[in-house]
Amino acid sequence: MTSPAHRKSYGVKGAPYAFLLPAATLFALFFVLPIGYAIWLSFRKVHVSGLGLGVGARKEVWAGLENYKDALTDNEFYHGALRVLGYGCIVVPVMLGLALLFALMLDTERVRLAPFTRLAIFLPYAIPGVVAALLWGFLYLPSVSPFYYILDKLNLPQPDLLNGGALYLALSNIAVWGGTGFNMIVIYTSLRSIPAEVYEAAKLDGAGPLQIALKIKIPMVAPSLVLTFFFSIIATLQVFNEPTTLKPLTNSVSTTWSPLMKVYVDAFGKGDIYSAAAEATLIAIATLVLSFGFLRAANRRNKQEAAP
């Protein structure tokens, strides 16, 4: 017979698992199972017999790696990946550079109206991505944009931001405008956690504000920079809202401009959920590989710097 003391000890040890059970259940139902189902669909396809009419004429069969082979040899998917690569080369460095610059500026002693400035920089992040893209889209249109009206009155050139190479700048501007505030808050919070004694010691050694920023602040917030870079890579590979929202405003944005848009078209436009599942899996794998590779490189560098 189990003693009361043993039952009490078992209840205490099992309490953490009981508290974790609801979260673990939701995680499994709404994260693990959908991912597993998408991977399962990526290895399937529909086999059509005859004209595809009648009972049993269309049935789901095992496809192996056929969907992955088709995705990797699809020119639309390939060119979409190249476009996202060019888009990311603009967005990530500019957004993180501005976030770091704003965080360093707000962390100085002479800054005025710091709470208002932090809120003003962060506020665009609180605006939904579709709304932000729609707002900027109309600002890019010469017929309704106040900027083009001012340029016209001043007899200045009016660039076409919705066509050609300028389209990358237009899309990148939306992402930078919306994401800089979040990354700035992450970096700024890390800066505020640095002990004041570190700054006092640096000032006693004769270090100026620029030297403190370059040699103390930036190295000490390196983990936050790694974190924001990690999030930025994921957001870049999954870009969807901006080009999809701007598509009705210009012919330069195709329905498959980004890989995620290609997944959407295949799944809901063509009804081919099997190819879409394979493409989505490839995007997830690319995100995992790039993120894991960057984290390993960052950890290796930190270990080398910490080694005597």
Closest residue by Cα to residue 233 from 84, 132, 31, 124: 84
Runs of H (alpha helix) within the chain: 4-27, 33-42, 66-72, 75-106, 114-126, 129-140, 146-153, 166-192, 196-204, 209-212, 218-220, 222-237, 241-246, 259-264, 273-306
Closest of 264, 266, 22, 246 to residue 130, by C-alpha: 246
How many independent structural domains does the chain possess? 1
The string of DSSP letters for 163-185 reads STTHHHHHHHHHHHHHHHHHHHH
CATH number for the domain that contains residue 168: 1.10.3720.10
Check residue 114 and give its pLDDT.
79
Query: Tens digits of per-residue pLDDT, 190-232?
Result: 999 988 888 888 888 888 888 988 889 999 998 899 889 988 9
User: Is 54 part of any domain?
Assistant: no
Q: Which residue has the higher pLDDT, 16 or 211?
A: 211
- Report the pLDDT value the prediction gives residue 11, as an integer from 0 to 100: 58
Q: Note the pLDDT tens digit of each residue in 232-260.
A: 988 998 899 999 999 998 889 999 999 99
Query: How far is Cα 306 from Cα 187, in angstroms, rounded to an integer?
Result: 22
Q: How many CB atoms lie within 10 A of CB 135?
A: 15
Decide: helix, strand or coil at residue 64: coil
Sorted by sequence, the CB contacts under 8 Å of residue 256 that are 6+ apart come out as 76, 77, 80, 262, 265
Domain assignment of residue 16, yes or no: no
**Is 117 part of a structural domain of the chain?**
yes
Q: Is residue 64 part of a domain?
A: no
Distances (CA, A) of 91 to 76, 180, 231, 245: 22, 10, 12, 18
Mean pLDDT (the chain) is: 87
Q: Within a domain: residue 230?
A: yes
pTM for the model stands at: 0.86
Distance CA 263, CA 278 (A): 9
Looking at residue 228, what is its pLDDT? Answer: 92
The model's confidence at residue 7, banded by pLDDT at 50, 70 and 90, is low
Single out the residue of 228, 225, 220, 224 nearest to residue 196, CA to CA. 220
Residue with more model confidence, 164 or 295:
164
Q: What's the DSSP call for residue 214?
A: I
Question: Residue 219, Cα to own-chain centre: how many angstroms?
Answer: 24
Q: At 78, is the pLDDT very low, low, confident or very high (cuts 50, 70, 90)? A: very high
Residue-number span of the structural domain to which 104 is assigned? 74-306
